[in-house]
Chain A
């Protein structure tokens, strides 16, 4: 048979085939596949799969040590939440996103030397031995005018004792506790009472008078924040002294906007009122007469003129303190924002003594110290930074830093000797770490056991352990082991046999067990077990590693006489209360939760970059001040302090007191995970410590550019 295929047949066939294809799933499948492809691009990250487990640990990102429940997939944490009772608050933003930190782009992966040049710094990886060589060289050259100092950003850990033991064998060796740690103002109490160790008991206070402590923004344990903001009965009253309507001042029952730098006068003015308003106030003070004489002139009217706080408000505040006790008076001393200075802290702490709340539940309390990990023997002294001579440190080792020193570098710099060597042990190469000469990587949060000794706002001694959940992602150096290696290299004989930080912690836990004192709370169910009921130290260790919280019992207050003026000369009191009304003052204000860290979770961009909630680098003045200076919102201005000058973009905000420049740094791009070299908190540089060691406020000028 002959087949005749015409053009027409071919066309017919093609048409039929096309129609036929439309009736098969093929074209629809093709379309669907195309759609599916748009939903599954290969470059879109895929969440991990695996068994879901819950594990308890403790947040080690700030001294509060919140109990944490981690939701893990395939053993690795994918979310964190606060464990335990709801009325204890929740994790702060930093803690909530803490499981991201081990993966932070600013992670330091190996020891390195940082070469500082005029063109910025350069990092060169070096073996740990090279770093050790530099350390040993400096130890060899050490003396009282060229000290070896360890800046301990988390004093009170077991390894702090190890450092002090090592430093004890080095001439001029000192341990400097972080100058910007919360609760450091309590040191003033030690000076006033002559001896003893003190804590505060905000949990039982009914009124808190806070001199700029950001109580509702992460100062202290989240319990305080919760009680202040969310407590069912709102049973806590807050009086906030602050030159701007911060988030804490907004939450306060009474806001006393005082000119920065006049807090001492305000405290003495309240002392004036308490002496007159409360029977027996100051009866135990050995220097009551001198105090009375000094406060004589700080009448409400005089204080109003100095501070800007209306006299009536002052009287009202004093009445509330007396009537709604127990009352606690605290001084702002948080990281970054810095301390108020020794004189001011003494004036503030004196109010607790006048109120008779020292030793009382809800006030300032005597608190037992945590046992040391070993029989202490001879230890190098712990010296506050402001007591260290200028230009006297030859070797500075920075331990337990999360990368950034929460203070202006200038404050540390003036203590450094010529050609001082700085070695930083840190998980991140960011912030202040980049100023070091050598950097050594340490484990990040959740990569190793971190020890959380007594938080400053705890009325009793306490310890918690942060259990690791993530395999270390870098070859991290352990501080305990590092102390040993330094000793070996410098041929220093250490009597104790520790090998590592974990060894030291275990030793401490075992001494707690031996003492039989206190109890352990399991945060998940609130179960409490007395230490005396635990058969072995290992049992206590395991309980702690499972998120347990050991606390000592409350101490009996010692009714010893005290010095309301702390033995500080009158001239310093007068200098601290001089009139500043005519000055424009810059205040350094670091929102505590996330902005002061060298590394934060990149999702913090939700708060700083992706919403108008916070500005990353904010310089704000009251519109009235701006007008007086001839400046407008958004205008470029030059902010000049005695320390530095800087071009800024001005924000106006009615929340800021007139005459005040609110300087707020946010996280840097590096901190948020963008790789960028040599970036610092520029705004920090505007501040330098005064003769009291404080950098909270600086006289400043703002000029249009």
Chain B
């Protein structure tokens, strides 16, 4: 039925099967939109956030999603700036993933703020000292860049290619793509860092506060590193998932292996620096503000194991997997490593967002925990559904994996 839209030479499931696949996601999207509507109309009292947990599930997952979405800019950076041409095989998928991650995050952010209609005030009365202003600027601009990067992929669609001016436009765009990749990379390095800075500058929260260089706390650099280290792992993971779901070979194995190798090296650097940072933080930064850091881990569920899990199990272990050439040959190991690496960055963002707020600062404050309610979960799942739908459509009608046709014909 939708054959004319599908690239010649690749096989896609029937329209009917495709619709059946989309249906549950559409339902989830609808439920999510309903929850979002509730929050916008009745206010944020519809969530389980409170004055202590001013940030909750949404900010945590936004941060996680943005870190994972780093795969887009970093792949672009490797491809266009560092000329790792093998990565052309996944760049389109990475761009679409990046677009989904960032647009989803911005959408959720707009629900998360109390007065979304005033969001533009940040551009009107920006506070240059605020990490959040930096983040807002970079993310909005970068989302535009991602949208621009999306356009040529879109224009390559079989039907759209038939419009001559589109084809010309696409060709022009293609020539300047390295420029956008460069801009995107710069913005991304910066806002990934600023997202880390968001917490590192909190001098009033000894759990989050970090020393650093110039105006940037160490979390600025650690967030960049952890994002670019797990970004490729996330591209690897999603590529694998799509290939399992569609039962197709999408990229050559060596592409995945390369992604893993890059991820591995960056992870090992990250783990090293994160360990040093943790030691400095526990033995110097926190102590100098009169805090006994052992108390940071005095309450369940945020035991010391969280720290160990984050650095060793979800940092060092995947790094070692990725750095072993023999393991890199095994899809199972690649996937395991990717899951662990992505889990590590998610746990890190959870700790920075939730534990920072859960731990008391005043002696007479209680330790508190927070659980999201259905509205928060549904809104987020709705955004995930939006992502799945957009990605599915893109996969079906656009060329996300240029090697797919060749691999199929071989």
Contact = CB atoms under 8 A, between A and B. Distances in A.
Direct contact of A and B (CB under 8 A): yes
A388 B204 CA distance: 63
B51 to A, nearest CB: 10
B115 A31 contact: no
Contacts of A612: 366
B118 A31 contact: no
A38 interface: yes
B226 to A, nearest CB: 37
Contacts of A3: none
A38 B118 contact: yes
A38 to B, nearest CB: 5
Contacts of B121: 35
Interface in A19-43: 31, 34-35, 37-38
Interface in B97-128: 115, 117-118, 120-121
B152 to A, nearest CB: 23
Contacts of B115: 38
Interface in B365-410: 366
A233 to B, nearest CB: 30
Interface in B53-92: none
10 contacts: A31-B120, A34-B117, A35-B117, A35-B118, A35-B121, A37-B117, A38-B115, A38-B117, A38-B118, A612-B366
Nearest to B365: A612
Contacts of A38: 115, 117-118
B280 to A, nearest CB: 35
A262 to B, nearest CB: 33
Interface of A: 31, 34-35, 37-38, 612
A32 to B, nearest CB: 10
A349 B121 CA distance: 69
B117 to A, nearest CB: 5
Contacts of A34: 117
A31 B117 CA distance: 9
B67 to A, nearest CB: 32
A158 B117 CA distance: 61
Contacts of A31: 120
A565 to B, nearest CB: 48
The 10 tightest CB contacts between A and B, nearest first, are A38-B117, A38-B115, A38-B118, A34-B117, A35-B118, A35-B117, A31-B120, A35-B121, A37-B117, A612-B366
Given A31-B120, A35-B118, A38-B117, 6 more contacts: A34-B117, A35-B117, A35-B121, A38-B115, A38-B118, A612-B366
Nearest to B117: A38
Nearest to A28: B124
A612 B362 CA distance: 15
Interface in B22-69: none
A484 to B, nearest CB: 52
A28 B131 CA distance: 27
A556 B121 CA distance: 75
Nearest to B366: A612
Contacts of B118: 35, 38
Nearest to A612: B366
Contacts of B366: 612
B300 to A, nearest CB: 15
A35 B117 CA distance: 7
A34 B119 CA distance: 11
Nearest to B115: A38
A470 B72 CA distance: 67
Nearest to B51: A610
B115 to A, nearest CB: 6
Contacts of A35: 117-118, 121
B64 to A, nearest CB: 30
Nearest to B116: A38
A72 to B, nearest CB: 33
A651 to B, nearest CB: 14
Interface in B119-172: 120-121
A200 to B, nearest CB: 37
A106 B121 CA distance: 43
B2 to A, nearest CB: 31
Nearest to A34: B117
B119 to A, nearest CB: 10
Interface in B189-224: none
A34 B117 CA distance: 7
A144 B269 CA distance: 95
A612 B120 CA distance: 37
A36 to B, nearest CB: 10
B352 to A, nearest CB: 27
Nearest to A37: B117
Contacts of B120: 31
A37 B120 CA distance: 14
Nearest to A31: B120
A31 B120 CA distance: 9
A34 B116 CA distance: 11
B75 to A, nearest CB: 36
Contacts of A37: 117
B116 to A, nearest CB: 9
B118 to A, nearest CB: 6
A37 B116 CA distance: 12
B79 to A, nearest CB: 35
B69 to A, nearest CB: 29
B299 to A, nearest CB: 16
A103 B120 CA distance: 40
A246 to B, nearest CB: 19
B362 to A, nearest CB: 13
A35 to B, nearest CB: 6
A582 to B, nearest CB: 36
Nearest to B121: A35
A305 B117 CA distance: 70
A65 B115 CA distance: 46
A31 B123 CA distance: 13
A38 B121 CA distance: 12
Nearest to A32: B124
A638 B118 CA distance: 52
A83 to B, nearest CB: 35
Nearest to A35: B118
A150 to B, nearest CB: 47
A308 B107 CA distance: 65
A35 B124 CA distance: 12
A34 B115 CA distance: 11
Interface in B301-336: none
A315 B106 CA distance: 72
A424 to B, nearest CB: 37
Interface string B331-368: 00000000000000000000000000000000000100
B40 to A, nearest CB: 12
